[in-house]
Chain A
Amino acid sequence: MKSKKKSMGLSKRRNLIGWIFLLPAVLLICGMSFYPMIRALVLSFRTGVGANMKFTGFYNYIRMLQDKVFIQALFNNFFYLIIQVPIMLLLALVLASMLNDKDVKFKGLFRTAIFLPCATSLVSYAIIFRALFALDGFINTMLIKIGILDVPINWLGNAQTAKTVIILALIWRWTGYNMVFYLAGLQNIEYSIYEAAEIDGASPFHQFGRITIPLLKPMILLTAIMSTNGTLQLFDESVNLTNGGPANATITMSHYIYKMSFEYSPNFGYSTAMSFVVLILVAVLAFIQMKTGDKR
């Protein structure tokens, strides 16, 4: 017994203790997260009405290709992703480097103000945006008073403008969040590098492009992956701001999955199959971003 204990060695024993500490969390994650995921995967291969379901293989996944609404939702999600994420991340970068400047006054105030939208509830901000962009809402009234418009624009009644409003709302809600990541990253960049660059005659624009962006690359990668993940799972804005309308022009995949499960005649097999497509899309996109962005 004694000899056996000795043969374990110090590092092995430490490892064992480490694993014992990890065990509760691992078990919880397995039970609460991985187990339902596996059950969901099994469920996605089944189809049927109510609780009577049969195993049908990849039928649900093949079926998706003919689902016009799902394809529209997929397209919408990618539209938001391609337009909104780059704008938001660039804006966050610019704001972060501006607010990182030592000479700016009221830095704390500005940082808080820009981060604050992120603390609001998703549902309430979506409803406020809906009210702002109503036919007789604040935005229309303002634009008419200033003289830019003659007649109010039906922002949420038109496919293009409705998408624009969702993108604006997303930018407002999430830019500050990403800015905080960049600010944290910027603290690791020596200020002397900027001073040296200034002495060498680099303009602020050059400094931003040649110093800030390359040194923040890991952060940018992280935020890009998080934003991709968040955009593909977009739900609250589609439900509360536009209710998917007009004519499904702004519906997202998650919103459609919800409708399939709880509003329509429930079809859980198909719903979970769609959820797994979202999962695969996120995984593939994250993989591509890592391949192209992380050259360490």
Chain B
Amino acid sequence: MKKVLSILLVLVMAASLAACVTGKNGNSGNTVDNNSADNGGTANAPANTSEGGNTLTVWCWDPAFNIYAMQEAEKVYQKTNPDFKLNIIETPWEDVQTKITTAASSGDLSTLPDIFLMQDNAFQKNYINFPEVFTDLTDSGIDYDSFAQAKAAYSVIDGKNYGVPFDNGTGIDCLRTDILKQAGYTIDDFKDITWDRYIEIGKDVLAKTKMPLLSSQAGSPDLIMEMLQSCGQSLFKEDGSPNIVENQALTEAINVYTTMVKEGILVEVNDWDQYVGTFTNGTVAGTINGCWILASIQTAADQSGKWALTNVPSLKDISNATNYTNNGGSSWGISTNCKNVDLAVDFLSKTFAGSVEFYETILPSSGALATYLPAGKSEVYAQPSEFFGGQKVYADITEFAGKVPSNITGVYYYEARDAVGTAMTNVVSGADLESELKNAEDTVKFQMGQ
């Protein structure tokens, strides 16, 4: 008896894991009973959408950035619609994703807000899995022509628009001008160059100043993905099948990366904080990333005036290679749980998709760069930045943003990204590139199979 009981006890303990996965997600369709515990919390909270009225509920995550932008947008819209109110709920991106997955797979969308912010890279995945969550905005009157085309493409599926573009992740190459000077270079030596030239200069800078040019998070293929997009490529073909083994741009990108690690031009660190630390502490002479990295760079107040930025290097011998790329960014979506779609559309089209004044307000304090092209012509964007030695960084970035080639994100973006990250790590520690890419493609194909 004792034994039976103890085995039962162990089973219960272990099963809590199994129950955890479904406890949150219920079964396939119509029943919602077994996640009532989950919903109970939010149902009473003001997470529900408003019935008619003049209030919209929003999920977004960064108080200094997108939440702030939403608050400013509310103020702008209140000028024409004084009764309008936003109910902004701070929800980290991981939670937005989990909550949408939970709501959609249980078939109960009533917990979703009116408007949610979504990572661009996750847009396709969520639409393909849960099309019932998204409201079609194609003919809603939002002027998509005024956005950078590559940016708007993230939330376009089958020629239809499901999102309003927000922040910009245009790739920039930020460099310490004081260190370049010691080695006899200027920022202009980095403009419109290839990666080969970048490595050449990198070696020289390393020899003369003992400073590597770059740092990156080990195992995270951000740089590789940026190089791919700079040629309009991604890890997927147009038909959605993985494009890894025969992808010349990818092979070249991993080669460039491996060379940089071996030459000591690029130092790999293990987590994000260390990565930010490498340039704020001055252990590396620059960084390449999406332009949102500006906020982190500018935390090092003692380096003010010592930075400059330019466009990113391009891959040599790859067709369509450019010096422009993108990393990250997010877009607003309107959920099908929204009872007042007209209001939500009108609000977004008069703020995020129609108000230069709005973008002028949010830029100086949050650094939220628009992909809304008319805003780039505003005077606020042409203000020189003291931190970047008087460079008009925002105008420059907006100019780059318009030239970024668009690519296919793919539904299985995160799977492919992880697989390529694994391949990259193995190649850097000496494995054979070709067989690693084969492995990566097999892994992605496996995970794509249902």
Q: Mark A residues whose CB is within 8 Å of B.
A: 29, 32-33, 35-37, 39-43, 46-53, 63, 66-69, 130-131, 134-136, 154, 156-157, 225, 229, 232-233, 242-243, 245-248, 254, 257, 259, 261-268, 271-272, 275-276, 278-279, 282-283, 286-287, 290, 294
- Kindly provide the distance from the CB of A137 to the nearest chain B CB, expressed in whole angstroms: 9
On chain A, the residues within 8 Å of B7 by CB distance are 283, 286-287, 290
- Kindly provide the distance from the CB of B158 to the nearest chain A CB, expressed in whole angstroms: 16
* Chain A residue at minimum C-beta to C-beta distance from B129: A50
Q: In the docked arrangement, what's the CA distance between A41 and B34, Å?
A: 14
On chain A, the residues within 8 Å of B107 by CB distance are 51
Q: Is the CB of B130 within 8 A of A51?
A: yes
* Chain B residue at minimum C-beta to C-beta distance from A133: B270
Report which of A157, A264, A279 forms a contact with B14, defined as CB distance below 8 A.
A279
On chain B, the residues within 8 Å of A37 by CB distance are 15, 18-19
Q: In the docked arrangement, what's the CA distance between A286 and B190, Å?
A: 62
Q: In the docked arrangement, what's the CA distance between A268 and B16, Å?
A: 16
Stretch of B54-62, B316-324, B409-417 lying at the A interface: B409-417
B22 beta carbon closer than 8 Å to chain A: yes
B426 beta carbon closer than 8 Å to chain A: yes
B128 beta carbon closer than 8 Å to chain A: yes
On chain A, the residues within 8 Å of B14 by CB distance are 229, 232-233, 278-279, 282-283
Q: Is the CB of A272 within 8 A of B21?
A: yes
Q: DSSP majority for the A interface?
A: helix
On chain B, the residues within 8 Å of A257 by CB distance are 17, 21
Q: In the docked arrangement, what's the CA distance between A48 and B28, Å?
A: 9
* Chain B residue at minimum C-beta to C-beta distance from A29: B12
- Kindly provide the distance from the CB of B390 to the nearest chain A CB, expressed in whole angstroms: 33
- Kindly provide the distance from the CB of A150 to the nearest chain B CB, expressed in whole angstroms: 17
Q: Is the CB of A279 within 8 A of B18?
A: yes
B29 beta carbon closer than 8 Å to chain A: yes
B91 beta carbon closer than 8 Å to chain A: no
Report which of B21, B27, B269 forms a contact with A42, defined as CB distance below 8 A.
B27
* Chain B residue at minimum C-beta to C-beta distance from A159: B429
Query: Per-position contact with A for B400-424: 1 when CB-CB < 8 Å, else 0?
Result: 0000000000011011001001110
Q: Is the CB of B447 within 8 A of A279?
A: no
- Kindly provide the distance from the CB of A226 to the nearest chain B CB, expressed in whole angstroms: 8
Report which of B22, B98, B105, B443 forms a contact with A36, defined as CB distance below 8 A.
B22
Within 8 A of A (CB), among B100-151: 101, 104-105, 107, 125, 128-132
On chain A, the residues within 8 Å of B439 by CB distance are 68
Known: A257-B21, A286-B10. A51 touches B15 (CB 8 A): no
Q: Is the CB of B34 within 8 A of A265?
A: no
Q: Is the CB of A32 within 8 A of B22?
A: no
Known: A51-B105, A247-B426, A264-B412. A271 touches B270 (CB 8 A): no
* Chain A residue at minimum C-beta to C-beta distance from B122: A263
* Chain B residue at minimum C-beta to C-beta distance from A69: B443
On chain A, the residues within 8 Å of B426 by CB distance are 247
Q: In the docked arrangement, what's the CA distance between A42 and B19, Å?
A: 12
B268 beta carbon closer than 8 Å to chain A: yes
- Kindly provide the distance from the CB of B167 to the nearest chain A CB, expressed in whole angstroms: 21
11 A–B contacts, CB within 8 A, in A order: A40-B19, A50-B128, A51-B107, A68-B439, A68-B443, A69-B443, A134-B274, A275-B20, A282-B13, A282-B14, A283-B10
Q: Is the CB of B34 within 8 A of A36?
A: yes
Query: Per-position contact with A for B423-450: 1 when CB-CB < 8 Å, else 0?
Result: 1011001000000000100110011011
Within 8 A of A (CB), among B1-45: 3, 6-7, 10-23, 25-29, 34, 37
- Kindly provide the distance from the CB of A239 to the nearest chain B CB, expressed in whole angstroms: 11
Q: Is the CB of B450 within 8 A of A264?
A: no
On chain A, the residues within 8 Å of B125 by CB distance are 265
Report which of B13, B104, B268 forms a contact with A51, defined as CB distance below 8 A.
B104
- Kindly provide the distance from the CB of A124 to the nearest chain B CB, expressed in whole angstroms: 14
Q: Is the CB of B443 within 8 A of A262?
A: no
Q: In the docked arrangement, what's the CA distance between A269 and B271, Å?
A: 32
Q: In the docked arrangement, what's the CA distance between A246 and B101, Å?
A: 28
Known: A51-B28, A51-B104, A268-B105. A262 touches B23 (CB 8 A): no
Q: Is the CB of B18 within 8 A of A246?
A: no
